[in-house]
Amino acid sequence: MIGANDLRGCYPAIITPMTSGGEAVDFAGLERLVHTLLDAGVPGIAFAGTTGQSATLTYDEHVQVVQRGAEFARAYAKTLGREVLVIGAAGSNATHEALVLCERILAEGRVDAMLQVTGYYNNPPQEGLFKHFWAVADLAAEHECATILYNVPSRTCSNLEPKTVAKLAQHPAIIGIKEASGSLAQIQEILDGTSRETFAVLSGEDHLVSDVLLRGGTGVIAASGNMWPAQFQRLCELGLAGKHDAAEELQRALIPCAKAVFSAKNPIPLHFMLKSDLRLPLVGVEELNETDRLRVYAAVETALAIKTFPHCQ
């Protein structure tokens, strides 16, 4: 089983490419994108998360995206002569469903870590979140698979508090958190309440990576990593090497890229840039109202016009 020290760098939260009209998962497109990301030097990839349209995947599709994505990644990494870390998102606001989904994914596929989101809509209390994550981590551990917590209150209306994170970090298979609260104060409190040796803090906000690294975080699970994987990986390398001034300079240069990715509801702009269809209720950029559409066009044009980034060869 991997540990906290294995979570270092940029892990793109990969999109799930779709065929025309969102009819089916485009697995050939997924494989091509996996190759592109690994060619850029990222240490791993996160499949079937928010950016991967998990909410609109069928149960079978979700399992297949993680399992086949893992197969694509491991096979291509082997040709590159290196290892790859595979993260599979399998969260639910119902503990039973999360357990069933994890069991099915892990029964037939090799995944290094499961990414587990906080309960959405039913907004469970901290005690419920603790029991939920502990139960899922127990199951994953039976398959030699680690668990990464995922806190994204802007999407779930459920905030995993630092004191709860500290308790969960005592589980030997819970090795880190993707922290997307946007609060550096909360991130610092998590870092202060956990051990750097056994628990990794990954940024879940693409514009805060350098700040998280400066405080002791070890990387990012980044939606922007779909388009700028090498640059976000370099950002992590600089921060992990203690070159924080250089990391901050590169982070500033990447801000327009993050703004483009989030210029409309994620992953709409990414699918526009990567020329892939979406599945309802998500729609393409061309179907947005004029104000939103023009905002995305302008943000994407600005980001794609950047040809060089500081401290990147």
Overall pTM surpassing 0.95 (yes/no): yes
Whether 86 is covered by a domain: the verdict is yes
Whether 250 is covered by a domain: the verdict is no
Whether 295 is covered by a domain: the verdict is no
Whether 178 is covered by a domain: the verdict is yes
Whether 279 is covered by a domain: the verdict is no
Clarify whether 297 is annotated catalytic: no
- What is the mean pLDDT of each successive set of 10 residues along the chain, which is 313 residues long? 99 98 97 99 98 97 98 99 98 96 92 95 95 98 98 94 99 99 98 98 98 99 99 99 99 99 99 97 98 99 98 91
- Determine which one of 11, 76, 150, 259 is catalytic: 150
Distance CA 162, CA 292 (A): 35
Q: Tell me, what CATH number does 158's domain have?
A: 3.20.20.70
Whether 292 is covered by a domain: the verdict is no
- Determine which one of 11, 178, 243, 259 is catalytic: 178
From the number of C-beta atoms within 10 Å of its C-beta (0-12, 13-18, 19+), residue 311 rates as middle
What does the pLDDT look like over 259-272, one tens digit per residue?
A: 999 999 999 999 99
The answer to whether the beta carbons of residues 208 and 200 sit under 8 Å apart is: no
Determine the structural domain holding residue 90 and report its residue range.
Answer: 4-243
What does the pLDDT look like over 192-234, one tens digit per residue?
A: 999 999 999 999 999 999 999 999 999 999 999 999 999 999 9
Q: Tally the domains of the chain.
A: 1
Clarify whether 178 is annotated catalytic: yes
Distance CA 41, CA 33 (A): 13
Distance CA 270, CA 259 (A): 11
